[in-house]
A = this chain, B = another copy of it.
């Protein structure tokens, strides 16, 4: 049994997922493959954009958070899957060389009615650069229970 089961993911609990340094070369390579808009690829286009400098694709930022979440929580948890989420936000741009602080907050947790062996957890994702929030998301994770439901 992994260390973290549904029962451990209690609303209000916050997990520190550590810090991430944004690798400029990887950021650009990601954009070239998945989001090749000029302001994600080229310094001059970045400076002339709303971002004010060459900025990360939001999907790269989301993927960086995902990795921190996998390392910090999922790989030691009874993770089953995620059906999706209700919110994803990129309130400020991310730049190459940024150091971002990653957290996960447990927002809600309930046992599944249709599948009593698992629980549904509402998860709050956040990345900050200093005091600036650069990414947030709210989504659902399915986790196995430590103690299976007893038949009633």
Chain A residues proximal to chain B, CB less than 8 Å: 30, 33-37, 49-51, 57-59, 62-64, 66-67, 70, 74-75, 79-91, 139, 142
Please tell me if the beta carbons of A70 and B139 are within 8 angstroms of each other in the complex.
no
A84 and B75 in contact, given A36-B70, A59-B66 (Cβ under 8 angstroms): no
- Which 7 A-B pairs rank lowest in CB-CB distance, beginning with the nearest? A84-B89, A34-B63, A34-B67, A59-B63, A85-B88, A84-B88, A50-B81
Distance to closest chain B CB from A92 (angstroms): 10
Copies in the complex: 2
Q: Whole-angstrom distance between the alpha carbons of A79 and B85 in the complex? A: 25
Please tell me if the beta carbons of B83 and A91 are within 8 angstroms of each other in the complex.
yes
